[in-house]
Amino acid sequence: MRRLLWLCGLLALPVLAQAGAAAQDHGAKEHSVIVYGKPDGKVAGWGIATDLPSGWTQDCCQYAQAIGVNLVLYRGEWTGEPERVMVLNVWPQKLPSLDAEWQDDQKRYLQRDPTAKVSTFAVHNPAMACHGLLFQGTDHKDDVVVFCDPGKATGVRLSWSMTMSAADPTRQSVLALFSQVVEQSSYMKYVSKQASPDKAKH
**Strand ordering across the sheet containing 186-189:** 15-18, 32-37, 46-51, 186-189
Domain of 73 in residue numbering reads as 2-192
Cα–Cα distance measured from residue 96 to residue 118, given in angstroms and rounded to the nearest whole number? 23
Residue 202 lies in a domain: no
Residue 32 lies in a domain: yes
> Nearest 5°: CA angle at 53, between 5 and 80?
35
Residue 76 lies in a domain: yes
Cβ neighbours for 129, distance < 8 A, ≥ 6 positions apart? 98, 148, 149
pTM: 0.83
> Nearest 5°: CA angle at 8, between 111 and 69?
110
Distance between terminal CA atoms of the chain?
51
How many distinct structural domains can be found in the chain?
Answer: 1
Q: In the prediction, which pLDDT does 184 show?
A: 97
Q: In the prediction, which pLDDT does 10 show?
A: 33
Q: Which long-range contacts (CB under 8 A, 24 or more apart) does 7-12 make?
A: 8/68, 9/67, 9/68, 10/68, 10/69, 10/89, 10/91, 11/68, 11/91, 12/68, 12/69, 12/70, 12/89, 12/90, 12/91
Q: In the prediction, which pLDDT does 194 show?
A: 56
* pLDDT in 10s for each residue of the chain, 202 residues: 444 333 323 334 444 434 333 333 334 444 789 999 989 888 999 999 999 999 999 999 999 999 999 999 999 999 999 999 999 999 999 999 999 999 999 999 999 999 999 999 999 999 999 999 999 999 999 999 999 999 999 999 999 999 999 999 999 999 999 999 999 999 999 887 654 444 434 3
Cα–Cα distance measured from residue 13 to residue 98, given in angstroms and rounded to the nearest whole number? 18
Q: In the prediction, which pLDDT does 191 show?
A: 80
Residue 68 lies in a domain: yes
Burial of residue 63 (CB within 10 Å: 0-12, 13-18, 19+) is middle
Instruction: Please report, for the domain that includes residue 19, its CATH number.
Output: 3.40.1000
The string over 33-43, giving b where at least 16 C-beta atoms fall within 10 Å of a residue's C-beta and e elsewhere, is: bbbbbebeeeb
Residue 201 lies in a domain: no
Residue 47 lies in a domain: yes
Q: Give me the sign of the Cα torsion angle 60, 65, 70, 71.
A: negative
Q: In the prediction, which pLDDT does 37 show?
A: 93
